[in-house]
Structure 1
Amino acid sequence: MAPGSSDLDGITGRARFPGGHGTPRPVCTPGRVLIGDQPGEPARLPAAASEPGINSEDMSIDHSPGD
């Protein structure tokens, strides 16, 4: 990190960038989803999210959230 800067500078700067391909930045609502601990469950999540029109472009998976 540059001297005299902070993480907040990056957050503020990011807000000035529009969404992809010149469109306005979309309103994002973060959420958490608990899934089963069976093979294939994480792979089903993007498909299930796309059915109601949710864009799962910025999705992260945490095995133990909060730990």
Structure 2
Amino acid sequence: RIEVRGGAIKPTDAAFHYFHREKSEIVVTTPTIDSDGRLSSWPEGFFDQHDENLVSLLAPREK
């Protein structure tokens, strides 16, 4: 997400896959990433690093 926001990679070249169990099935969720590095959805309990990355994502862009 940070590299997408910084322009190092395109949003379409990055993907996150979240796997979780619902009853006896495994469900895969793949949120999209926008050009600011934001995910279209944020599954509950996903990626504890979120708060730390948020600081980097909210910081002004370096020129």
TM-score, normalised to structure 1, is: 0.23
Which structure has the higher relative contact order (CA within 8 Å, separation 6+)? 2
Whose strand fraction is larger, Structure 1's or Structure 2's?
Answer: 2
Whose helix fraction is larger, Structure 1's or Structure 2's?
Answer: 1
TM-score, normalised to structure 2, is: 0.24
